[in-house]
Amino acid sequence: MAAAPRCALYSCLLLCVSGIVPKPQNPRIISVNLHSILRWDAPRFHKGNISYTVQSKSINFPGDMYENVSTNLRLTECDVSSLSAYGDYVLQVRAESENNHSDWATIRFKPMDDTVIGPPDVKVKSESGSLHVDFLGPFAEHEHDKWPLKQYYGSWNYRILYWKKGGNTKVTHIDTKHNSEILSQLEPWTIYCIQVQAVVPEWNKVGELSEELCEQTTHNVFEQASQWFAVFCSAPTRRASFL
């Protein structure tokens, strides 16, 4: 019977050691364009300085063990962008003080699903009665390299939304796989506003809208010239009909 009390006492000691430091709270991922930061709230602890260890484990390979992402952290955040964008992970973080540590706080993280697709860079130019819209990005940044985010996803479209400025006007949108589009059939000398976002159908993801840009249209000089030419050419025929 003496073994049972000793085991209970041993278990109690283990719980006390690991429970001296409260575990971090509210772990969360802030990820934009695959730049991913794990953050958490510091536990209430008044017995000394604490640091943190962050570990990751791949769900794609169940046999894998947890690996350290970062140790001896003083801040309540950790950059986890180095993890493969195509992976599926469990992240865990614990607080440590001297020889004591807290329990682990865990969170699931799947970069391709969880990251927010930021807005593209957009330029608008008014020319010959149309608006020429060019867009680029967004980009995933890793160390000193920048890669177009659309290279990570199988399908990728840009959605252009435009409307006449002022009043309760209808918003029109068109989708394109290209990095530019010409908006034609617009009213002349009218201000149109434009925003662009990425759309990834296969992942059911819609990116953030770009900054609103407004530009005024002009007359289509080529269309106007062709009308004048048509009138000029038909004038002799009309005059001949009166003779």
Same domain, 32 and 108: yes
Based on DSSP, count helices (H) and strands (E) in the chain, helices before strands.
3, 18
Write down the pLDDT at residue 144. 73
Does residue 68 or residue 144 have the better pLDDT?
68
Q: Is the pLDDT of residue 146 over 90?
A: no
- pLDDT digit string, tens, across residues 217-228: 998 655 444 444
- For residue 108, what are its two tokens? 């699931």
CATH of the domain at 66: 2.60.40.10
- Give the structural domain span for 58: 22-114
- pLDDT digit string, tens, across residues 100-118: 999 999 999 999 999 999 9
For residue 132, give Cα distances in angstroms to 73, 173, 187, 211.
49, 15, 15, 16
Final residue of a structural domain among 93, 114, 135: 114
Write down the pLDDT at residue 11. 41
Write down the pLDDT at residue 170. 86
Residue 243 inside a domain? The answer is: no
Band of residue 234 on the pLDDT scale cut at 50, 70, 90: low
Same domain, 211 and 148: yes
Same domain, 130 and 217: yes
Same domain, 108 and 89: yes
DSSP codes of every residue in 182-231: EE-SPPTT-EEEEEEEEEEGGGTEEPPPPPPEEEE----HHHHHHHHHHH
